[in-house]
């Protein structure tokens, strides 16, 4: 199919978005929604999941006829005349490619060749981002364009109100509510069965001292509500998917797909973020709200995969906690002036593209590349 679509004539007004990022901060999906509303003169198609070995011939025809091919993971195109705009799906904090401790030389060299051959424009938001990405995948500097990332447009424009989100996920009303969201990274790669067993049993933090009832009671006493958004792999193995807690709710992809939401279109309604080594925290800095960093598997991650920057406590502008006891001890004061200033420092370092029209900047960079 891929070979046959090379013979399809290219249409200058056709854009195809190969979305491998689902609905969890997908530049591709947010850009797709933007194009539909703001540039009806273009014929835009969203193809997901990507990559897929089961695409219909119709989808391959769309890929083959597109002048612009947009990707969120590996760059891809089938013809020299096509322009590939590479969004990627996060500012890297964990090592990947040639920098990672758990990758193979042959795979890394193949990926480098793909980027050299297929990526025409690589979206960027800072010199730091370009340095981190090139360290991992050896991207040539001339490919970068500082345009920001479409997903950032969604942060300050929630598609529903905080009250609606509270009603949807917690079935309650609370004028004093503080909504937090917990988004850990992919912990399966730690290859630690004990971590997976804890998660499977309902211990989504994988704390040694986890107590769901105690955590829920502490949140309830403070009018705090916690949304748990696990990696899809972890969510599939989670036994207690339907929360019986009043102040803890699990957000799955079904909710996002059923409502045509991307997660970033809801993040603006939250009051704080909890994460471990996920690059989401770089994006959350745009909201200038508290971030809690979970460090109970920091040493294992540094050994198995590695981090691109460190020491960890110096690059994370927020409270670092290692256990539920420490978490509960910090719920009353998630922020202070020192942490606030550190967030602003890291925002300036990781984002040199100002404004809130990242989708439009991406569109201009793409269409003016001819």
The one-digit pLDDT tens for each residue of the chain (370 residues) are 555 566 678 889 999 999 998 898 999 999 999 999 999 999 999 999 898 878 898 999 999 999 999 999 999 999 888 999 999 999 988 899 999 988 899 999 999 999 999 999 999 999 999 999 999 999 999 999 999 999 999 998 899 999 999 999 999 999 999 999 999 887 655 566 787 788 888 888 989 999 999 999 999 999 999 999 987 766 776 655 667 899 999 998 889 999 999 999 999 999 999 998 888 999 999 999 999 999 988 888 888 888 999 899 899 999 999 999 999 999 999 999 999 999 999 999 999 998 779 999 999 999 986 5
Chain position carrying tokens 């256990």? 323
HEC-encoded secondary structure of the chain: CCCHHHHCCCEEEEEEEECCCCCCCCHHHHHHHHHHHHCCCCEEEEECCCCCCCCCHHHHHHHHHEEEEEECCCCCCCCCCCEEEECCCCCCCECCHHHCCCCCHHHHHHHHHHHHHHCCEEEECCHHHHHHHHHHHCCCHHHEEECCCCHHHHHCCCCCCHHHHHHHHHCCCCCCCEEEEEECCCHHHHCCHHHHHHHHCCCCCCCCCCCHHHHHHHHHHCCEEEEECCCHHHHHHCCCCCCCCCCEEECCHHHHHHHCCCCHHHHCCCCEEEECCCCHHHHHHHHCCCEEEECCCHHHHHHHCCECCCCHHHHCCCEEECCHHHHHHHCCCCCCHHHHHHHHHHHHHHCCCCCCCHHHHHHHHHHCCC
The pLDDT of residue 5 is 64
Tell me which residue range forms the domain holding 25: 4-148+355-367
Q: Give the domain CATH number at 37.
A: 3.40.50.11820
The pLDDT of residue 354 is 83
Domain co-membership, 79 together with 112: yes
Structure tokens at 266: 């809801």
Structure tokens at 182: 């917990």
Domain co-membership, 84 together with 183: no
Please tell me the pTM assigned to this model.
Answer: 0.92
Domain co-membership, 212 together with 104: no
Structure tokens at 349: 């370092």
Domain co-membership, 238 together with 319: yes
Domain co-membership, 137 together with 13: yes
**Size (the chain), residues:** 370
Rg (CA), the chain: 21
Domain co-membership, 179 together with 284: yes
CB atoms within 10 A of CB 287: 18
The span from the first CA to the last CA of the chain, in angstroms, equals: 27
Domain co-membership, 142 together with 18: yes
The pLDDT of residue 102 is 87
d(C-alpha 343, C-alpha 360), whole Å: 26
What does each C-alpha distance from 129 to 25, 109, 110 come to in angstroms?
17, 21, 22
Domain co-membership, 222 together with 131: no
Structure tokens at 368: 């003016």
Structural contact between residues 122 and 366, judged by C-beta atoms closer than 8 angstroms: no
Q: Give the domain CATH number at 273.
A: 3.40.50.12580
Total domains in the chain come to 2
Structural contact between residues 149 and 123, judged by C-beta atoms closer than 8 angstroms: yes
The pLDDT of residue 86 is 97
Domain co-membership, 50 together with 118: yes
Could you tell me which residues come within 8 angstroms of residue 285 by beta carbon, excluding any fewer than 6 positions away? 291, 317, 343, 346, 347, 350, 351
Burial status of residue 73 (CB atoms within 10 A of its CB: 0-12, 13-18, 19 or more):
middle
């Amino acid at each position: 199919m891929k070979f046959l679509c090379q013979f399809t004539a290219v249409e200058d007004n056709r854009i195809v978005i190969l979305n491998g990022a689902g609905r969890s901060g997908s530049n591709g999906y947010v850009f797709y929604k933007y194009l539909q509303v703001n540039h009806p003169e273009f014929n835009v198609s969203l193809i997901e999941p990507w990559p897929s070995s089961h695409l219909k011939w119709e989808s391959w025809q769309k890929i083959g006829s597109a002048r612009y091919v947009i990707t969120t993971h590996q760059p891809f195109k089938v013809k020299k005349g096509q322009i590939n705009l590479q969004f990627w799906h996060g500012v890297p904090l964990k090592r990947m490619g040639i920098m990672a401790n758990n990758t193979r030389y042959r795979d890394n060299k193949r990926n480098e060749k793909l980027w050299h051959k297929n990526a025409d424009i690589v979206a960027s938001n800072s010199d730091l981002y370009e340095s981190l990405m090139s360290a991992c995948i050896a991207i040539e500097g001339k490919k970068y364009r500082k345009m920001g990332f479409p997903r950032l447009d969604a942060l300050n424009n929630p598609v529903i109100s905080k009250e609606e989100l509270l009603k949807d996920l917690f079935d309650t009303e609370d004028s004093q509510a503080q909504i937090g969201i917990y988004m850990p990274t992919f912990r399966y790669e730690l290859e630690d069965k004990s971590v997976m067993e804890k998660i499977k049993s309902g211990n989504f933090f994988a704390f040694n001292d986890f107590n769901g009832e105690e955590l829920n009671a502490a949140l309830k006493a403070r009018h705090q509500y916690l949304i748990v958004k696990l990696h899809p792999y972890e969510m599939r193995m989670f036994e207690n998917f339907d929360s019986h807690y009043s102040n803890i709710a699990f957000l799955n992809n079904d909710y996002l797909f059923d409502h045509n939401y991307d997660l970033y279109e809801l993040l603006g309604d939250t009051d704080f973020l909890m994460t471990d080594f996920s690059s989401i925290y770089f994006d959350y800095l745009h909201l200038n709200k508290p971030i809690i960093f979970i460090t109970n598997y920091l040493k294992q991650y540094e050994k198995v995969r590695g981090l691109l920057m460190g020491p960890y406590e110096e690059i994370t502008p927020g409270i670092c906690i290692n256990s539920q006891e420490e978490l509960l001890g910090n719920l009353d004061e998630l922020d202070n002036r020192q942490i606030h200033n550190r967030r602003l420092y890291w925002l300036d370092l990781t984002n040199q593209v100002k404004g809130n029209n990242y989708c439009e900047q991406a569109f201009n960079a793409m269409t003016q590349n001819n």
